[in-house]
Amino acid sequence: MSMHELALVDLVDESLLRCQVMTWTDGETYELRLNGAGVSPVRVLSSVDFEDGLRQLRAELERRNLLLLCNRYRRDAFVSSMSCQMSEGLSCYLVVAGEPVSPELLVDSLGAAFRGDVVTAEEASKFIGEWIAGFDD
């Protein structure tokens, strides 16, 4: 089991809440648990990988008007199939508009991120879609 000390931002008033995210796997089940003061615990399970669990966790937190301040939920976070395979879904790339994926920008998905970099899933999807479309020109 691995534990990450992070923060949540409440989208209603932009207040920050300290939390812990724990990861655990037996190779077949991937579990994420989020616990924090003033927040009901969240537990997600996946039979795919941690990336699938992180998508589920993000959806649940957004339903609660919360964002987890971690690299995976940044606007510029991109998960490739290779990064998923290499890390069981716990690594992502930070991409730059107009530039291809760079191995130097492979980061821990549950590494801490600044509030200004973290956006909703919809906003991140739009940014990554535009980043990908930039290579079609």
Nearest residue to 118 (alpha-carbon basis) of 54, 69, 80, 57: 69
pLDDT by position in tens, the chain (length 137): 899 999 999 999 999 999 999 999 999 999 999 999 889 999 999 999 999 999 999 999 999 999 999 999 999 999 999 999 999 999 999 999 889 999 999 999 999 999 999 999 999 999 999 999 988 75
Residue 124 CA to residue 22 CA, distance in Å, equals 24
Residue 13 CA to residue 33 CA, distance in Å, equals 24
Helix (H) or strand (E) holding 132: helix 121-133
Q: How many CB atoms lie within 10 A of CB 34?
A: 22
Q: Which residues contact 117 (CB under 8 A, 6 or more apart)?
A: 74, 75, 76
Q: Return the structure tokens found at 134.
A: 């930039």
Triad 90, 93, 97: Cα angle to 5° = 155
State if pTM tops 0.75. Answer: yes
Q: In the chain, what's the furthest Cα-to-Cα distance?
A: 48
Q: How many CB atoms lie within 10 A of CB 114?
A: 8
Domains in the chain: boundaries = 2-133
